[in-house]
A = this chain, B = another copy of it.
């Protein structure tokens, strides 16, 4: 298994056709190829139904897109941390803007992730909530203003002061958390910009998944990380 070493690219497969089922496996292989060619850490977050198949196929790290704040028991239709782990996840996204959670559930999920040794990436929609979730001591926090998600307008360009300001505020309460920047990242220069603003990586989705040539975009992102 690839060890986590920032700077990092995390690709959120969401529920796009281009990253579902067989397509998820194909996309995962491309991500793996970029990792092998560049040495840049690339994690992928496929849908839960695809998780075990993807995890069996590639050796890059696989994340769940969500787990629930539950312990083993009668919770039909929920996502048990143990199940995600056994299916091959090494971590999980938490509180993505498309799957927002109650504060007490974020807290409980972080406990469950820690117990199952799942790496946690908590998403937050603005500077204030980024600080709040950072105080809960996740492994990573991803800053993603939802109004920019899927727009192709990178948060590092549209609102660079939001990124750098958030980094400053987060560091006041948590010196260790890895800070990712998300929303609208679609070019290598967006990635470089994000790193220059003090983040340690990017969380991307449509910019890669829906690209004409996802392999080339991931390569571009990874190369930009080396600079």
Contacts and interface: CB of A to CB of B under 8 A. Distances in A.
Interface of A: 12, 14-17, 20-22, 45, 47-53, 64-66, 70, 72-80, 82-84, 86-87, 93, 95-107, 124-126, 128-129, 131-133, 135-137, 149-150, 173, 205-206
Given A50-B52, A80-B15, A149-B74, A21 B98 contact: no
Given A52-B53, A74-B205, A87-B49, A132 B128 contact: no
A76 B102 contact: no
Contact of A49 (B52, B129, B150): B52
B75 A20 contact: no
Contacts of A48: 48-49, 79, 83
Nearest to A111: B128
A26 to B, nearest CB: 13
In the complex, the count of this chain's copies comes to 4
Contacts of A52: 49-50, 52-53
A45 B77 CA distance: 10
13 contacts: A15-B72, A50-B52, A74-B98, A74-B205, A97-B104, A100-B104, A102-B103, A103-B103, A103-B132, A104-B125, A132-B132, A132-B136, A135-B173
A74 B125 contact: no
A102 B124 CA distance: 11
B82 A76 contact: no
Nearest to A47: B83
A125 to B, nearest CB: 5
A126 B107 CA distance: 9
A177 to B, nearest CB: 13
Nearest to A127: B107
A100 to B, nearest CB: 5
Given A16-B72, A52-B49, A77 B103 contact: no
